[in-house]
Amino acid sequence: MRGEVISYIEMCQREGVSLQRGMNFRLGRNYSVILMSVRKNSPYRDEVREDGKILIYEGHDVPARKGEVDPKSLDQPEYESNGALTQNGKFHRAAQIYKSGKGNPEIVQVYEKIKNGIWVDNGFFHMIDSWIEHDGTRNVFKFKLISINDKREKFSYLEKYDENRTRIIPSDIKLQVWKRDGGKCAVCGATDELHFDHVIPFSRGGTSLRAENIQLLCARHNLQKGKNIE
């Protein structure tokens, strides 16, 4: 569920696999999974744009090996040494297939790390573009993703941005709310099954850009509130 706070173990259990890397193409399902972070100490330059409608996700480096060249000085790889596509290559190929009109956009489940041990389910996105750019030192992959309400949403929605699209809550707002609410439900103080919730729903004009309109709710009170919205 979008906005749900989960642990790393819960995230792996949900996807049915140990998520040892940030980019996970397909995983035997009909969607892919990426792990992102926009924290200051994050190893990659992921971005959230247009109030959460758009994600720009950076590709991943060659694995670090003791005694070898710093991966941050090397171009991000598209192919393995045996000629197989890397995760960068698989995601890049899928994005280019969509751009060329030969297929639908890749559906991507996004999880965001906001603090050590604290992850948030950012929901499903469509990957609609990819490119290679120079960051001043080396070439890196960039992937553009647009928020969707759920993985069944038709790709025709991409023809025009809808201002009522679901948007993720910016990372700095999540951190402000987490600190303010003490990592507990604002109603009952529960510390499990938490969700970031809009006080005034986004569909009714509520904003994701102010901490005053975001609160932590446990699953019970989040569901209770949803039933009471008229």
> Which pair of structure tokens corresponds to residue 70?
């710093």
- In tens, the pLDDT along 174-210 reads 889 999 999 999 999 999 889 999 998 877 888 888 8
* Total tally of structural domains belonging to the chain: 2
Range of the domain at 178: 172-228
Whether residues 145 and 186 share a domain: the answer is no
pLDDT score of 155: 46
Whether residues 36 and 127 share a domain: the answer is yes
Whether residues 181 and 217 share a domain: the answer is yes
Q: Give 160's pLDDT tier (boundaries 50, 70, 90).
A: very low
Q: How is residue 208 annotated by DSSP?
A: S
Among the candidates 166, 195, 218, a domain finishes at: 166
pLDDT score of 27: 84
Whether residues 161 and 182 share a domain: the answer is no
Whether residues 160 and 176 share a domain: the answer is no
- Alpha-helical (H) ranges within the chain are 8-15, 87-99, 171-181, 219-228
Whether residues 141 and 176 share a domain: the answer is no
- In tens, the pLDDT along 28-40 reads 778 999 999 998 8
Q: Which residue has the tokens 């919730």?
A: 197
- In tens, the pLDDT along 103-120 reads 999 999 999 998 888 899
Whether residues 45 and 109 share a domain: the answer is yes
Q: How is residue 137 annotated by DSSP?
A: S
Q: Is the pLDDT of residue 222 over 80?
A: yes
Mean pLDDT of 63-67: 84
- CATH number for 144: 2.30.280.10
% of the chain with per-residue pLDDT over 90 = 60
- CATH number for 198: 1.10.30.50
Q: Parallel, antiparallel, or unpaired for β 118-134 and 139-147?
A: antiparallel
pLDDT score of 157: 44
